[in-house]
Amino acid sequence: MKLVKFSLVVSSALGFLMIAHTSHTETRTFNNPIVEGYGLDYCREWAANFGMPAAQAYCKSQGYDLATDFRVVEDNQKTRVIETGQVCDADSHISHPKCDRICQKAYRI
């Protein structure tokens, strides 16, 4: 299994918002998030909007405002694309040879 870590730098405007609402901020880490029985795919739509857009969509589906950090697990397990519901299975097709999963952290403000 190969792990690739990405980090999001929070803008100063968002940082101010987070400081102003510190007492109401909730952080949660989703380890190996699941979408309808499969790991969360790296793509928000099929072969499009990679990484942070998929992480943001998952966090919003769980009632959180934003994803702040995520990592990609490149192990070619079956995954589900969050916006379309399609299942990515690298063994069954040629057009999309990899199915990477996301692990992430989210904030509720």
First to last CA, the chain: 33
Could you tell me the maximum CA-CA distance found in the chain, to the nearest angstrom? 49
- The predicted model scores a pTM of 0.72
Q: What pLDDT was estimated at residue 108?
A: 65
Could you tell me how many residues make up the chain? 109
pLDDT in tens, 31-71: 889 999 999 999 999 999 999 999 999 999 999 998 888 99
Q: Distance between CA 59 and CA 72 in Å, rounded?
A: 15
Give me the residues paired with residue 8 across strands. none
Burial of 17 by CB count in 10 Å (0-12 exposed, 13-18 middle, 19+ buried)? middle
Q: How is the chain split into domains, by residue range?
A: 2-108
Residue 98's pLDDT band, with cuts at 50, 70 and 90, is confident
Give me the residues paired with residue 87 across strands. 80
